[in-house]
Structure 1
Amino acid sequence: MKLRTPGLSMVAVVGLLALPACKKEEAPVPAATAPAAATPPTQQAVPPAPNAGAGTGEAAAAAPAGNGVVKGSVSFTGTAPVMADLAPSADPACDGRPEKEQSVLVKDGKLQNVLVRVRGTVAGAPPAPSTPVVVDQSKCTYVPRVQGAVAGQQVVFKNSDGTLHNVRGVVGARPVFNVAQPPLGAPIQKPLPGDAEVLRLKCDVHPWMTAYVVSNPNPYFTTTADDGTFTLTGLPAGTYTLEAWHETLGTKTAEVTVKDGAPVDAAFTFAATDAPAKP
């Protein structure tokens, strides 16, 4: 799928990354995501954007173009994979983080963190919001893990932790940026790649940290909740291809016909045997 205001000197960033508390948690960066050294960390502080703490880039952030609603859920069949334990952390800022890997989260047969979106352009759809999507770093975890953005939006990275993080953006095997954020540092803003849909985020200081921002040509998308449910609102009447995207399980599609004032149901089902998604 497709989908730097003065900062830390390079010497300071390297020194911080070498702190004993962090060395225990460093792990070799897989070849598929390229070494962080290939793109030296830089810091670009920006003033907090209006509503940055609340914006997620989802359809609710922009004025709707219609009255159509699509609602449904994403299920998981078969035995859910067992998530591996995360390596112990000596960093007190990481207290409270999840204890297990978070790529496949299934509860009562429903799948969390699935991005459901309308594929392609939508006539009359509102433009990309002027406010950026936000990725926070809290308890050494990216929040949210999966979210959408309208093509052309910016993304802001916040560090709510009292520890050093770096945000390395990767598209496929290609490094896009690598920015360092000191403890409780100023937000950093970056443009989303214009030539790809899926931006993967990693932290080399805390290697379990992973998140995804999926770019879409229209604002009609959302991420499934803990119970696997989703709702798309403000769609103009018409027939659309819906896609459900998961970071490891791939994609599913469905056709829906939307009418004003008449909610439409849609459902998707994934299984452990589905082909892995390309990063």
Structure 2
Amino acid sequence: MKLRTLSVAVLGTVGLAALPACKKDEAPAPAVSRSPDYVKPGARPEAKPEAAPAAPAPEPVTGGGTVRGVVSFKGVAPTPVAIAPSEDPACQSMPLTEQSIRVKDGKLENVLVRVRGLVPRSRPAQPAVIDQQGCNYVPRVQGVAAGQPILIKNSDGTLHNARGLTGTKSIFNVAQPPNAVKPVQRPLPADAEVVRLKCDIHPWMAAWVVVNPNPYFATSAADGSFSIEHLPAGTYTLEAWHETLGSRTAEVTVKEGETASASFEFSAAGAKGTASGGVK
């Protein structure tokens, strides 16, 4: 009788021990797939953030007239001052002469020609970009409309700093690491008209930004040519500005759909230049 009781107890113990092993061999219950939009019964649905509306594309600029012309240089251009080559490997393509007066075949480059005063209908202004390439500012001279953002880039494999000055007053100083991917944006003071950029690390680097009440301006190319397009019909005062030779002015009348011409002349002696304007 004792032997039978013992056998029953042993069988019971083995059976209990086998239960966990059987459970381990059972397949897990399949996971329930829920839709991203599933809401648990009784729960309040979560409000989804609305997508931000896309910025409207700027309307194409149409209409108005065009002002075209040439900036000339009278006399013999001064010999540019030599610049000692830099030992910085990133500056191998730097200019080896001072770049303020660039004359070729009697034509003057880097003169900003702008319409003075307010213009009733102004075209939208895109950000103005200043890049540092070959240890040189590109472009050297450009105009911006009042309130237009300025983006400063560094495409060189070396450290630069872009210091902005109005007269002798420093208005910003931006240090940029080599090959900076993201440009740095800096505002200009509301009362600024001419801003000079320089690099303290590479002192020969220079650029000029002229702030204008309207976005109608252009910089003369290597052949002295310039073109201002989509200017509303009317009579305007044009100003041609150069960083060392001063400025010249001319009156011009623009007609809808037509091209007006304006020419400017500078000289190294600083004598008063001549300007002419008309419609062709």
> How would you bin the TM-score normalised by the shorter chain?
0.7 to 0.9
Q: What letter corresponds to residue 171 of structure 1 in structure 2?
A: T
* Paired residue type of 1:219: P
Query: Is the contact made by 2:63 and 2:257 (CA closer than 8 Å) also made in structure 1?
Result: no
Q: Secondary structure at the match of 1:255?
A: strand
Q: CA deviation at 1:64?
A: 3.6
TM-score normalized by structure 1? 0.74
State the SS of the aligned residue for 1:193. Answer: coil
2:97 counterpart residue number? 100
Q: Would you say how many aligned residue pairs link Structure 1 and Structure 2?
A: 215
Q: CA deviation at 1:96?
A: 1.1
Mapping of residues 128-207 of structure 1, within 5 Å: 129=125, 131-185=126-180, 186-207=182-203
> 1:112·1:227 contact (CA, 8 Å) conserved in 2?
yes
1:12-60: CA deviation from partner (whole Å, max 9, x where unpaired):
xxxxxxxxxxxxxxxxxxxxxxxxxxxxxxxxxxxxxxxxxxxxxxxxx
Alpha-carbon separation, structure 1, partners of 2:268 and 2:59: 35
Q: 1:210 to 1:266 in 2, by over 3 A?
A: same
Describe the shift of the 1:119–1:62 C-alpha distance in structure 2 as closer, same or farther (beyond 3 A): farther
Of 224, 227, 232 in structure 1, the residue corresponding to residue 223 of structure 2 is: 227
- Do 1:222 and 1:232's aligned partners in 2 also have CA atoms closer than 8 Å? yes
Q: Secondary structure at the match of 1:232?
A: strand
In 2, Cα distance between the equivalents of 1:124 and 1:221? Answer: 14
Q: Give 1:253's match in structure 2, choosing from 237, 249, 255.
A: 249
RMSD after superposition: 1.8
Greater Rg over alpha carbons, structure: 2
Paired residue secondary structure (1:187): strand
- The residue identity in structure 2 corresponding to 1:120 is G
Q: Which amino acid aligns with 1:81?
A: P
Relative to structure 1, the CA distance from residue 172 to residue 269 in structure 2 (aligned partners, 3 Å threshold; closer, same or farther) is same
Q: CA deviation at 1:224?
A: 0.4
Q: In structure 1, what residue type is equivalent to 2:72?
A: S
Q: Return the alpha-carbon distance in structure 2 between the equivalents of residues 161 and 231 of structure 1.
A: 31
Greater RCO, 1 or 2 (C-alpha within 8 Å, sep 6+)? 1
Paired with 1:241 and 1:62, the residues of 2 have a C-alpha distance of 27
Q: Is the 8 A contact 1:65 1:235 kept in 2?
A: no
Aligned-pair CA distance for 1:261: 1.7
1:90-131 Cα shifts (integer Å, max 9, x gaps) = 00100111111100000000000000010000112235x2x4
- Counterparts in 2 of 1:64 and 1:121: CA distance versus 1, 3 Å: farther
With over 3 angstroms needed to count, the CA separation of the structure-2 counterparts of 1:273 and 1:123, relative to structure 1, is: same
1:210 to 194, 197, 206: 206
Match of 2:82 in 1: 85
The alpha carbon displacement at 1:65 in A equals: 6.1
Q: What is the alpha-carbon distance in structure 2 between the residues aligned to residue 69 and residue 248 of structure 1?
A: 27
Q: Which residue of structure 1 lines up, in the alignment, with residue 63 of structure 2? A: 66
Name the CA distance, whole Å, in 2 between partners of 1:97 and 1:91: 10
CA displacement 1:220-244 (0-9 Å, x = unmatched): 1000010000111101110000000
1:269 Cα deviation after fit: 0.2
Q: Distance in 1 between matches of 2:228 and 2:101?
A: 23
Could you tell me the TM-score, scaled by structure 2's length?
0.74
Deviation at 1:87, TM superposition (A): 1.7
* Structure 1 counterpart of 2:55: none
Which runs of 5 or more residues in structure 1 are unaligned? 1-60
Identity %: 62
- Tell me which moved more, 263-272 or 183-192: 183-192
Alpha-carbon deviations, 1:215-267, whole Å to 9, x = none?
A: 11111100001000011110111000000000000100000011112211110
Q: In the alignment, is the contact (CA less than 8 A) between 1:168 and 1:175 conserved in 2?
A: yes
Letter in 2 for 1:216: N
